[in-house]
């Protein structure tokens, strides 16, 4: 499907373009549901649905500026991966952060030892 056809079908469903920067478009409804679409990727594989416009905007800004997310829930991690381009360096770092978070939740992280515990000043 061409980009113009995709835009038309989304706007017919009640979504409006709220944000357009670089290759990212955010569509939003009054009900706060949002869709991010990376126009470099075909719509079927390059879009994600989010609960709020603010979350969608943060994801786009982070990817564009090369910032990494911290302390976010699983479904937002998957949203990052769905709308990423071919920026392998960013993708690798994002995967490392995701794996570290999963390991931490499973209790597989290295034990932290406070070397100053009990020391006198």
Q: How far apart are CA 72 and CA 85, in angstroms?
A: 20
pLDDT at 60: 92
Contact 53, 28 (CB under 8 A): yes
Q: How far apart are CA 40 and CA 84, in angstroms?
A: 9
Contact 34, 27 (CB under 8 A): yes
pLDDT in tens, 45-89: 889 999 888 889 999 999 999 898 877 777 888 888 888 876 788
pTM, full prediction: 0.74
């Amino acid at each position: 499907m061409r980009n113009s056809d995709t835009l038309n079908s989304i706007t017919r469903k009640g979504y409006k373009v709220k944000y357009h920067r670089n290759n990212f478009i955010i569509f939003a409804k009054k009900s706060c549901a949002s869709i991010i679409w990376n126009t470099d990727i075909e719509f079927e594989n390059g879009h994600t649905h989010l609960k709020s416009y603010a979350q969608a905007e943060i994801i786009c800004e982070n990817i564009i500026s090369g910032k990494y997310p911290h302390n976010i829930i699983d479904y937002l991690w998957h949203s990052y991966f769905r709308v990423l381009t071919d920026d392998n360096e960013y993708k690798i770092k994002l995967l490392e952060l995701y794996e570290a978070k999963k390991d931490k939740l499973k209790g597989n992280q290295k034990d932290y030892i406070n070397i100053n515990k009990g020391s006198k000043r």
